[in-house]
Amino acid sequence: MSLMNARFVAELLKEVSLKTMLPVPVKMDVIYGWAINEGLPRSGKRYLYTGGLYQLLPYINETVKYIKVLEKSSSGELALRAILDAIKVNPYIISSFIKPKPSEVNASYRILKSISRLVSKKVELAYLYEDDVYSGVLLYDMGLDDAFYEHAKKVYEKMLRRKATNLITVDPHTTYILREVYPKFIEGFDLEVKSYIEVLDELGIDLRGKARPKWGLVTIHDPCYYARYLSIYEQPRRLLSAVGVEIKEVRRSKKMTFCCGGPLEAMSPKYSEDIARSRMAELSSKSKVIVTMCPICRANLERVKEEGVTILDIAELLSEA
């Protein structure tokens, strides 16, 4: 049983976000590092907005592990409180403890590069670089509305300064929060927000050669926010079919998809893992190749991966075609 006070996590998140505009204290180049050699222009109308979730997830998970270690230490809650106080002064104080596996960081960079290259083929795409700040989605999910509001205002200002009119997003949470929640919090919010999956579906995907489905039969794990909140579930299927990938559906798919359990990770890793494991069993019963399209789903399913199972981000699959 894990009995950590979840409000501690909320408090920590709030403090770090206020100070750094990120959910974990890392340097901004973690977010735009992937784009250094991609040659994307700094200005334009359509911006790729990653919101950092792909890049930050390895760091978020390491932070959670670090908190767990502190919590289990002899001084337990006291240690947590001390850390919280220290963070209020200098959030970067814990940075040196948060060292994710380079392979995880590289994987998220690889996915982002694939996405940016796929989209660049179809539209003129600019990138926000140091203004590609985190959206504040975790603040909103945890019900830290005041902090979220403060954060969102700053994000919107940055977008306005960059004269953006269209944002192309890369993950379901950021897409949802920008498209559906920002307009409710921010007066006059006027940006068209589309997921790159929608964009590719609308404009068609360029095939490099004849489609050679390397992976044969796959199954799809729909993320809740795409499938239910944004009704994006036919689009990825059309894209996969277009590149010659065959799909075997699980019972709980599309609108009735089953959550990977990821959002509970920060509060109760064991709980989150139990949910992920039951989902993994369902998915792997259909195919040993599982396609995800959300960094949280990917990380959470990866942790409980069964032998012989491959988890691929849809962008990796599409860019191979």
| Interface positions with another protein (CB under 8 A) | 1-7, 10, 140-146, 184-185, 224, 228-229, 251-252, 255-259, 261-264, 267-268, 270-271, 274-275, 278-279
Sequence-distant (≥ 6) Cβ neighbours of residue 74 within 8 angstroms? none
Closest distance to another protein from the beta carbon of 246 (Å) = 19
Rounded Cα distance, 22 and 15, in Å: 10
Q: How many CB atoms lie within 10 A of CB 98?
A: 18
- Crossing angle between the packed helical segments 6-20 and 53-72, to the nearest 10 degrees: 130
The two three-digit tokens of residue 242, written as one number: 């277009």
Rounded Cα distance, 16 and 20, in Å: 6
Choose between 130 and 180: whose C-beta lies nearer to another protein. Answer: 180
Closest distance to another protein from the beta carbon of 280 (Å) = 13
Choose between 203 and 256: whose C-beta lies nearer to another protein. Answer: 256
Helix or strand or coil: residue 107?
A: helix
- Is-contact 230 176, C-beta < 8 A? yes
- Is-contact 265 64, C-beta < 8 A? yes
Choose between 51 and 269: whose C-beta lies nearer to another protein. Answer: 269
Closest distance to another protein from the beta carbon of 275 (Å) = 5
Choose between 127 and 140: whose C-beta lies nearer to another protein. Answer: 140
Q: Residue 78 phi/psi, 5° resolution?
A: -60, -45
Closest distance to another protein from the beta carbon of 143 (Å) = 3
Closest distance to another protein from the beta carbon of 225 (Å) = 9
Choose between 215 and 226: whose C-beta lies nearer to another protein. Answer: 226
